């Protein structure tokens, strides 16, 4: 509620700066104050625009915050995350249940969004299709992807990111 109040207070300044998009700008400023470590750089133009529009609606119409925990990831960072998960879990197949290698990661493509808090993710799951944002995995309530190719129809949700992967010994997860 505090973030919404801040957005309302910022509305006059936002109107001076961008008359036609004042609500969006005031929302961005207020959310930046709430989540100062967020980084939207590296997201595709479509993903950034969709996420901005969705979180603007969430805040103004429903009083719901949606923060970004992780968006774009550099391929080297993604590779390091994958290797760490392989070490932790003991195998690449098990690691793929939580982290994909860079060549397959939507974070590296700039179309994946890990959001917070849980309530914001629930809002996005309910309303995200209007913005081509979809939750894809049962085991990751926070992970959404920008998929404009779906035409408003949610893609089939999978149990985890590694589903459909065939391991070196031929086992399909």
Would you place residue 11 in the very low, low, confident or very high pLDDT band (cuts 50, 70, 90)? confident
Sheet holding 67-70, edge to edge: 67-70, 112-116, 143-146, 133-135
- What letter would DSSP give residue 157? P
The stretch 86-98 carries a mean pLDDT of 96
Tens-digit pLDDT profile for residues 95-132: 999 999 999 999 999 999 999 999 999 999 999 999 99
pLDDT at residue 169 greater than cutoff 60: no
Mean pLDDT for the chain overall: 92
The stretch 142-157 carries a mean pLDDT of 93
- Please state the domain extents for the chain: 1-34, 36-173
Percent over 90 (pLDDT), the chain: 72
Q: Which CATH architecture has domain 36-173?
A: 2-Layer Sandwich (3.30)
Alpha helices for 42-171 (secondary structure H)? 45-62, 75-89, 92-95, 106-109, 118-127
Task: Give residue 75's pLDDT.
Answer: 98
Quick check: 115 and 107 in contact, CB under 8 A? no
Q: Strand, helix or coil at 36? A: coil
Quick check: 150 and 132 in contact, CB under 8 A? yes
pLDDT at residue 48 greater than cutoff 80: yes
Better-scored residue on pLDDT, 86 or 4: 86
The stretch 53-68 carries a mean pLDDT of 96
Q: Residue 110: left (phi > 0), alpha (psi -120 to 50), or beta?
A: left
């Amino acid at each position: 509620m505090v973030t919404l109040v801040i957005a309302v207070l910022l509305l006059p300044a936002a109107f001076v700066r961008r008359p036609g998009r004042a609500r969006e700008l005031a929302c961005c400023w207020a959310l930046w104050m709430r989540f100062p470590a967020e980084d939207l750089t590296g997201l595709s133009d479509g993903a950034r625009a969709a996420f901005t529009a969705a979180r603007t609606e969430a805040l103004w119409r429903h009083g719901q915050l949606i923060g970004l925990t992780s968006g774009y990831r550099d391929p080297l960072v993604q590779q390091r995350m994958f290797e760490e998960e392989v070490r932790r879990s003991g195998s690449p197949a098990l690691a793929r249940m939580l982290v994909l290698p860079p060549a397959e990661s939507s974070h590296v493509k700039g179309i994946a969004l890990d959001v917070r808090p849980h309530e914001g993710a629930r809002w996005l799951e309910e309303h995200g299709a209007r913005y081509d944002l979809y939750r894809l995995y049962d085991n990751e309530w926070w992970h959404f992807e920008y998929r404009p190719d779906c035409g408003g129809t949610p893609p089939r949700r999978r149990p985890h990111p590694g589903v459909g992967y065939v391991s070196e010994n031929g086992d399909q997860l």
